[in-house]
Structure 1
Amino acid sequence: MEQSATHQTCRISILETSDLHGSMLPIHYANNQPNEVGLAKIAAIIAEERSKDQHVIVIDNGDLIQGTPLAYHHARLDNEPVDPMVLGLNYLGYDAAVLGNHEFNYGLDVLRKAVHESEFPWLCASIVDAASGEPFLGKPYIIKQFEGGIRVGILGLTTPYIPNWENPNHIVGLRFEDAVQTAKKWVHILKQQEHVDVVVVSYHGGFERDLVTGEPTEPLTGENQGYRLCMEVEGIDVLLTGHQHRSLAGVELNGVVIVQPGTAGVTLGKVELELSLSAGKWHIDAKQSVLLSVANIEADMKLIELIHEYENKTQQWLDQPIGKLTGDMLVKDPMQTRLKDNALIEFINRVQMELSGASISNTALFDNISPGFPSDITMRDIVSNYIYPNTLKVIRISGQDIKDALEQSAQYFNRTPEGTIEVSASFKDPKPQHYNYDMWEGITYKINISRPVGERVVMLEREGKPLDLKASYDVVMNNYRAGGGGNYAMFQDKPVVKDIPTDVAELLAGYIMERGTIEATVNNNWEVIWD
């Protein structure tokens, strides 16, 4: 607070984490190598920001308690202690957290326990008790009051699209309401009844439209309503966002400053407000948002020590054998794995088919360092190969959609003038996108990469007959692909026959543990050729 005889000013910093997904330590769990992520690094930045400014608000924007082996081990195998991520937020003195969609992944008992253990409130106005209509976790906002009487209202909102993903048993008795309509109601209350000077909306959701042109960037399902919140809800000063795992800062939309800090704690979002007192009322004179990177930041060693026991148990679990393999599922050459049917991809597809009931499946080799499975399989081997927190969806698509998807994948390959095969520019620039090349089970196909793009599928059959391009088929794939991610527009807006919201890595591990021993098989149902 600065003060003169006639003028008072104040600066407030709002710090945001979002989509931490259980990321506490700066490591890759696949191999324990260093990684520039995690709440332990974020902690050091928060401490630095607090040392510079006494007016600091710290908010977590959701998807906190799920996503790493640490989080999984606690939720599923050792849930009695305080949730490790909650322990971290308690230690750091967070002001509030917002419910994310992944907070429900382990069921309401695990979620309620984490909320009970929290020394901060959890906020969400848009998830209500179905019977009473009251917000699920009580009061959906907090008021922070600072020197000089400045009142800052923070309202929590969550994407209402959760019933499209979540196990119905995990959301019994809850109703998910439109974020925009909910915001209109509660922002009005904050302004007219609570008389706040600043309205901050912390929304576990992202943007459905291009921030510059306003053009839709995805199907307007209501999953992401950030653009509408800025354009249609009067009175919002700051919009903290997440869910999409984007890195957004330095942008104002209709006068609302926005920020989104990526995922896993790679950055801390910061909004800085400058206010002044005029005619007895505080006004915002300037506002800006930035992202503070954790790269080269030393982690908070006290926080690491607080979760030391959790981590030890997790590491022991990761290295415990979960099953055995007969045959060969090693990845010796990633390009060869993508050129001809192989045991690892076939296994993942067959697990997806068996657990979902679908008779057709696709999956990908996500990167070029996936090692495959050794003869003695551990949980660490699972997370080394299935590196993303994907879930599964069964969608109903046409034979033509399948063919179009194969043509999209076929663009992955390019032939050099020397006749060798390489990854095409569209799949490696500006970043490698190996995860966007799919391989299928349940159909028989052949791709000839000597042919022009769009004409490379030279054989496509189902049960020994040409695939009927007009018929409908139920296909299981990861949720990212089912939503059209990776330029697979043919999958967008298709009927969802079944949603399996458990992480695929967990499904693979459970499948192996249940059987004890798995066998490497290759039925050679597909191949890539060139003349």
Structure 2
Amino acid sequence: MVGKQSSETCVITILETSDLHGSMLPIHYANNKSNDVGLSKIATLIADERRKEQNVIYIDNGDLIQGTPLAYHHARLDNTPIDPMVLGLNYLQADAAVLGNHEFNYGLDVLGKAVKESHFPWLCATVVDAASGEPFLGKPYLIKELPNGVKIGILGLTTPYIPNWENPNHIQGLRFEDAVQTATKWVPIMKEQEHADVVIVSYHGGFERDPGTGAPTEPLTGENQGYRLCTEVEGIDVLLTGHQHRSIADIEINGVVIVQPGSLGATLGKVQVELVQSDGKWLLNAKKSELISVVGVDADPKLVELVSEYEAKTQKWLDQPIGKLTGDMLVKDPMQIRLKDSALIEFINKVQMELSGATISNTALFDNISPGFPADITMRDIVSNYIYPNTLKVIRITGQDIKDALEQSAEYFELAPDGAIQVSAKFRDPKPQHYNYDMWEGISYKINLSRPVGTRVIELDYAGKPLDLSASFEVVMNNYRAGGGGNYAMFQDKPVVKDIPTDVAELLASYIMERGTIEATINNNWEVIWD
């Protein structure tokens, strides 16, 4: 157990946020109802920890500047002021931040501006300049020395899988390197050259294996390498993780204490390490990790005031009328939306097809809180349903690729012992992946969940005939999926016929504004059955 501070001991408290995704205020932007999330609530917890503890380090672990209408409005429509999330971390006197994969979503200019505005260093050893091989943001680690002489080394790492998701224009001139190999290079430098007594690795990535058993939990693509970092890299004392949006604490892997604080600022990650003096050296004696919930915690009023002007502009923009709808596009039951063709999904797919010229399209219902469109549509409705800054790509793929992708999507479902339909463990653990279940337009298909995985597509037609598996087709989808994101490897490295770099949310809004009124239609081109 970590004890109290004394002249012979040193207790260090490390606080972590990760995957805040632009979450500043404790609200749902779809309806402005209260929500137990946000950096403004986290700020109250951090202040409380600083009152209680002597040596406190606060690190944000990435995916900071993207994800809410507040973040979107700043990045796309009013990027002149300081980034509101950076403003929050400056206010909290963050010691460091790490690049997340979503930091690149708005391009290098927006990211570079946010970095310059920060009163703290951004750390990342895995993203390097493609020409020189030097870390993209300069020195990838920080050495923090306490008054008693204890040195703490903090190394930043980011998942190298970013090129599989990101718009190539947003990462031009950069190379993404393996996290384990990179840590193997930099951890000894902190230990041997900088004489760090404690080594913290803040890694925007998660675990490819079960932290307790070591059993593989996902394809070993290199997207998540947390388990390997703990077992293959000597000298790491604390591993701060993220990316997977999991809640993990009170676990050690190979002697490395780990933590992952979920997402959106629902919890604050906390690690404490105790060092003792022995023969003039500080030696690690004990460590522990935990998660602190923001439930019941008041938002920091000063931070709320600091971002009030940003919020007022965002709310005005969200209430901007876009157009009208005849018919029903509301989401009453997310599972039902994913079991049979619906007006909302059909509309998004048809817009993608019309704007791209492709005859086949796919999209997803990204989460279970998407409300759908009401009769009077505002920008709030657009961004509440299309929550990611995706763009569109048309890629050329085969009929077999389409069938393989449908089979993968069909794995989203499983039958419970009582015969009810539920989300499968593959798409539920370690985090919900509703965004990786696609629904298609331009083809007709039927999925039977009573059949074994891999053989569930029982009908697949195009233009009234069975789909030719050897033929080529031009299909429009978001850039994340077109790059193979979500383990859709059948889409990787396929010819790009057309790239539409405008955010899909903007495309949808413009489409509705140009027409004034849209109509809900359903052609029932697909369904999921079980018997």
User: Is it true that 1:401 corresponds to 2:404 in the alignment?
Assistant: yes
Aligned partner of 1:19 in structure 2 is 19
1:26-425 correspondence to structure 2 within 5 Å: 26-331=26-331, 337=337, 340-354=340-354, 359-365=359-365, 370-386=370-386, 396=397, 397-398=400-401, 400-402=403-405, 404-405=407-408, 407-408=410-411, 411=414, 423-424=421-422
Q: Which residue identity does 2:323 align to in structure 1?
A: G
Change (3 A) 1:2 1:363: closer
| Matched residue SS, 1:139 | coil
More divergent stretch after superposition (310-319 vs 106-115): 106-115
| Matched residue SS, 2:265 | coil
8 Å Cα contact 2:269/2:292 also seen in 1: yes
Long gaps (5+) in structure 1: 417-421
| Matched residue SS, 2:292 | strand
Per-residue CA distance 1:299-328 (angstroms, 9 max, x = gap): 111110110010000000000012344554
d(CA) in 1 for partners of 2:326, 2:93: 50
| Matched residue SS, 1:398 | helix
d(CA) in 2 for partners of 1:344, 1:115: 38
Per-residue CA distance 1:136-168 (angstroms, 9 max, x = gap): 222211111113210001111111222222222
d(CA) in 1 for partners of 2:138, 2:529: 60
d(CA) in 1 for partners of 2:181, 2:364: 39
Change (3 A) 1:118 1:414: same
More divergent stretch after superposition (236-245 vs 322-331): 322-331
How much has 1:391 moved relative to structure 2? 6.9
Aligned partner of 2:492 in structure 1 is 495
Per-residue CA distance 1:434-489 (angstroms, 9 max, x = gap): 7776532121134578x66778755331111112456665655564798685xxx7
| Matched residue SS, 2:249 | strand
Change (3 A) 1:152 1:356: farther
Aligned partner of 1:444 in structure 2 is 444
Change (3 A) 1:481 1:251: farther
8 Å Cα contact 2:346/2:441 also seen in 1: yes
Change (3 A) 1:167 1:452: closer
**TM-score (norm. length: structure 2):** 0.86
How much has 1:242 moved relative to structure 2? 1.1
Aligned partner of 2:466 in structure 1 is 466
More divergent stretch after superposition (144-153 vs 371-380): 371-380
Percent of residue pairs identical: 73
Q: Which residue identity does 1:213 align to in structure 2?
A: T
- Number of aligned pairs? 518
How much has 1:522 moved relative to structure 2? 2.9
Change (3 A) 1:321 1:527: same
8 Å Cα contact 2:461/2:467 also seen in 1: yes
Q: Which residue identity does 2:120 align to in structure 1?
A: F
Q: Which residue identity does 1:283 align to in structure 2?
A: L
Change (3 A) 1:364 1:56: same
| Matched residue SS, 2:219 | coil
How much has 1:395 moved relative to structure 2? 8.7
Aligned partner of 1:419 in structure 2 is none
Long gaps (5+) in structure 2: none
8 Å Cα contact 1:398/1:472 also seen in 2: no
More divergent stretch after superposition (264-273 vs 452-461): 452-461
Per-residue CA distance 1:90-142 (angstroms, 9 max, x = gap): 11110111111111111111111111111111111222222332222222111
8 Å Cα contact 1:349/1:362 also seen in 2: yes
How much has 1:38 moved relative to structure 2? 0.4
d(CA) in 1 for partners of 2:319, 2:36: 23
8 Å Cα contact 2:404/2:490 also seen in 1: no
8 Å Cα contact 2:401/2:490 also seen in 1: no
d(CA) in 2 for partners of 1:370, 1:3: 52
Per-residue CA distance 1:472-530 (angstroms, 9 max, x = gap): 65655564798685xxx7x4565253598976545533543566554433333234678
Q: Which residue identity does 1:64 align to in structure 2?
A: L
Q: State the superposition RMSD in angstroms.
A: 3.4
More divergent stretch after superposition (16-25 vs 320-329): 320-329
More divergent stretch after superposition (431-440 vs 287-296): 431-440
d(CA) in 2 for partners of 1:54, 1:70: 34
| Matched residue SS, 1:269 | strand
